[in-house]
Structure 1
Amino acid sequence: MKGRISLLFMLLLAVPVRAQTLGEAEEPETITKVGTTAAQFLKLGVGARAVALGGTFVAEASDLSALYWNPAGLARLNGSAVQLAHTQYLADIDYSFAAFGLNLGNAGTLAASLLFLDSGEMEVRTTRDPEGTGERFKVQDFALQLSYARALTDRFAIGGTAKYINERIWHSTASAFAFDIGVLFTTPFEPLRLGASIANFGPKMQMNGRDILFSTDPDPDRQGNVEVVNSAYLTDSHPLPLLFRVGLAWYALATASHRVVVLTDAAHPNDNSEYMNVGMEYSFRNLLALRGGFRNLFERDGEQGLTFGAGLNVRLDRTLRVRFDYAYADFGRLEQTHWFTFDLAF
């Protein structure tokens, strides 16, 4: 009975509650701060399995994509593993992820990863040359991440990530260091797992580089010794996309041949309205998995929605395992994306 009361108390803490003064009507919020943060590629997600589940991976994180969703999930990694993921994102943008993890036994789990986004070449256009100047440029973003996780008890694990973030637009760049932290808890009700994470906690980013430099005459109507002054545009600094997630994973069915897990996440970003994700996975003999989900429920003016996918898990010998995952994600009027992930565990 005491365990159930503790669980209920934790769940109540996980549900966002908005205080309202008695007798006053709550005014609708209209400001969501969309487009006010830097490093937007940090919000795209990682791993075809997690994407197929609608992004409900905070409480289920168990492979190297946990570096993105909840670093505490790395504590569930056995042995060593490599993960490679790629998607042709919207507008023909290449988005890739590579990670390596090593279980150190009682010392915990250590992992490193790289997130990389490449827009491809585009024409340089100006107000003077709207059809193009003949030059071409790229937008390239990356994040180098180092993560550590440890199981403090058989039910509770904690993990953290330190990351270096860099954005480049032609000859201008912005960079910052940030941190993630996450926890994973198996409740006294065994089939239920609770996870929570905070991602991208760090300073603001500001663009600098030779693209913002220019020369000007401070007073073109007068002749003097100072005809040209080297100047620079003053660029604004923008915060990172801070995101708090809390999720539940319920193992509704777990037998030797069949497993069904139902998942839900709630997210509170600093640059959009709050939203929820839901997902479900069915696996047969830990060999074939079918997944489905729905992303960003209740998000204001959101275009994301239905997701689904499948996975094939092949054990080559006692210590070597290969897994292939695919995911489809619908973006409404922006069409869809296809995600592919390769996992090697040894």
Structure 2
Amino acid sequence: MPFARFRFLSVMPVLGLLILSAGPARAQGTAGAYCLQIPPGARAEGMGRSFSAISDDAFAPWWNPGGLAFIDGQHAALMHTKLVPDLADDVYFEYLSYAQHLSGWGGIAATITYLSYGQSQATDGGQGDLGTFSSWEIAPSVALGTSLGDNLGLGANLKYVHLDLAPALSSTSNQAGKGSTFAVDLGALYRIPGAPVNLALVLQNLGPDIALVDEDQADPLPRTLRLGGAWQVVSQDVHSLIVAFDVDKLLLSDEGGAPPDTNFTPTWFDENEVLLNGGVEYSYNKLVSLRAGYIFDDPGEIKDFTFGLGVAYRALSFDYASIPQFEELDRVSKFSLSVRF
């Protein structure tokens, strides 16, 4: 049984569901490791995925590790999301993170990202039933952010990425849909002196391509450039209002069936690979937060609003977000729980 045939017949339909649920222009290229492409944190999602210039909690390693430079205390966060609940109940995403202030350095964090594709039916070339198997991806990481002066934070998030998409079910081949690689995120967060404005610059998923069968079939990681800004319009004991934006640029292209272009500069001028995200957050008495945003993703066919709600009680925070997906899929609800020590 040729592995490639088995892989595409049995696994790719499930991957296709996830690509559509991920939505961003990332899905338009050939990037692998989809677990790296799903944004964590219902707070950020509710704000239209515009969070790189905020990054003040345990989700900072994903959005902007430079934000860890200014983190205070200890933070832990958990997110669990069914990505396509209207199509598959066993396709879900989990993100677990712990971050804390490190005296004299800034902040450190450890995270685990897990993506389940659920179970698939295995068949041979003659459509014989070989049972079921589970497909999944995992990416643990460690991150560090440190400050240069009072206003500039720099950070890095080092990740180990492992994909286990299909077993070697052939008695004549030991090839399986498994692969591993390393990646790093680099981030900077700048707080403009004398103004309630933050600016962000992030490079995500820089690292070697990931191969599941052999190096000739390796897929590039979803390398992304992100620019962001956040303005604290109102900052009072009772009322708080934040306006934020993110511009994401996938640093890959796959036009006309050509191999992906990993030269960063040319792809910046291709509007088909740019995402525009914006959002607002209003908080009352640091207890209740209302959020709204907008995702403009033309190639991913997502042009719609996001909505979110946050409730905080003492050290605990619960966040909810309603997120649009590819136009043929229903909106998805995302939940996350955070605690500050």
Q: TM-score, normalised by structure 1?
A: 0.78
The match for 1:84 among 78, 89, 96 is 78
Q: Contact between 1:70 and 1:183, CA under 8 Å: does it hold in 2?
A: yes
For 1:236 and 1:285, the matched residues in 2 are separated by 54
> Structure 2 CA distance, aligned partners of 1:185 and 1:292?
24
1:152-171 deviations in whole A, cap 9, x for unaligned?
22211111111000111122
| Counterpart position of 1:163 | 159
State the SS of the aligned residue for 1:160. strand
- The alignment of Structure 1 onto Structure 2 pairs a total of residues equal to 284
Equivalent in the alignment of 2:310? 311
The answer to whether residue 93 in structure 2 is matched with residue 95 in structure 1 is yes
Partner deviation per Cα, 1:152-205 (whole Å, 9 max, x = no partner): 222111111110001111222111011111000111351211011000000011
Q: What is the aligned partner in structure 1 of residue 281 from structure 2?
A: 281
3-state SS, counterpart of residue 232 of structure 2: strand
User: Alpha carbons of 1:113 and 1:33: their partners in 2 closer, same or farther (altered >3 Å)?
Assistant: closer
Task: Give the Cα separation in 1 of the matches to 2:289 and 2:107.
Answer: 26
CA separation of 1:240/1:108 partners in 2, compared to 1, >3 Å: closer, same or farther? same
- Pick closer, same or farther for the CA change 1:304–1:138 going to 2, 3 Å: farther
Match of 2:51 in 1: 57
User: Aligned residues: percent identity?
Assistant: 29
Change (3 A) 1:32 1:118: closer
- Quickly say closer, same or farther: Cα 1:144–1:288, change in 2 above 3 A: same
- Deviation of 1:75 after TM superposition, in Å, equals 2.0
Q: Which has the larger radius of gyration?
A: 1
Question: For 2:126 and 2:29, how far apart are their aligned partners in 1?
Answer: 27
Q: Which amino acid aligns with 1:313?
A: A
| TM superposition score normalised by structure 2 | 0.79
C-alpha distance in structure 1 between counterparts of 2:304 and 2:34, whole Å: 19
Is residue 2:110 matched to residue 1:112?
Answer: yes
Say whether residues 1:141 and 2:137 are aligned partners: yes
C-alpha distance 237-86 of structure 1, shift in aligned 2 (>3 A): same
Whether the aligned pair in 1 keeps the contact of 2:71 and 2:106 (CA below 8 Å) is no
**Deviating more after overlay: 233-242 vs 154-163:** 233-242
- Displacement, 1:302? 2.2
Distance 1:266 1:125 in 2: 43
* Alpha-carbon distance in structure 2 between the residues aligned to 1:54 and 1:176: 30
Aligned mates of 2:73, 2:33 — CA distance in 1: 32
**2:106 is aligned with what amino acid?**
G
Among 252, 256, 267, which residue is 2:248 paired with?
A: 267
State the superposition RMSD in angstroms. 1.9
Is 1:327 the equivalent of 2:330? no
Q: Are residues 1:199 and 2:189 paired?
A: no
Instruction: Return the offset for 1:314.
Output: 1.3
CA change 1:298–1:170 in 2 (3 A) is closer
Q: Are the aligned partners of 1:303 and 1:334 in contact in 2 as well (CA < 8 Å)?
A: no
